[in-house]
Copies of this chain bind each other. A is one copy, B any other.
Amino acid sequence: MHDPLISYINRHSAVPLTDGDIELIKNTFLPKRIRKKQYLLQAGEVCKYGAFIVKGAMRQYSVDDKGAEHIVRLSIENWWAVDRESFLMLTPSIYNIDAWEDTDALLITNADMNELANKIPALVEMLRKLDERHSIAVQKRVNASISLSAEKRYDDFAKQYPEFIRRFPQHIIASYLGITKETLSRIRHQAVKK
């Protein structure tokens, strides 16, 4: 159950994990099954857990005044499902996080993560790299949103994350890209014609 997480850390760190590290990790991350549609986080709560996804898919979204959902993050295997701000600052979140499919995840609290980080250099390095890559990815997303058309953004997303296109329905992808499902449908049709 924890093997995917161990592999993940080993892949993202030059520092190898010792047997003792692995033991600590297995004892600290809690396995959890989250059923389809079940919440990991509801708006107004503090995000107590970071969740590493072993199997399944999750989505993070906000709901606006008019009741419309805006997907801000999608996660599948080997991705994390967590509201970083709420998790780090321990402040109430404006987001919901729920399971799009039945999901097996490994959960950890902020305090436990800090404690593990004090003991496991490989974890520190993995987290640092995770932060860097997340930061870069989200900056690219901002860049795309202020300089590219909806069509171009979809094309780039489809090329870069084909697995997400396959795993999530188009109305979810559309919301994540900040457009409507009708517009996405039209964009995709236009692209096929070209």
Identical copies in the complex:
2
Q: Which residues of B contact A177 (CB under 8 A)?
A: 146
Q: Which residues of B contact A146 (CB under 8 A)?
A: 70-72, 145, 175-178
- Write 9 A-B pairs (CB below 8 A) sorted by A numbering: A62-B147, A72-B146, A85-B136, A88-B132, A131-B135, A134-B135, A135-B138, A138-B139, A145-B145
Render A119-153 as a binary contact track against B, CB cut-off 8 A, 1 for contact.
Answer: 00000000000011011101101110111000000
Q: Which residues of B contact A62 (CB under 8 A)?
A: 143, 147
**B-binding residues in A (CB < 8 A):** 62, 64, 68, 70-72, 84-85, 88, 131-132, 134-136, 138-139, 141-143, 145-147, 175-178
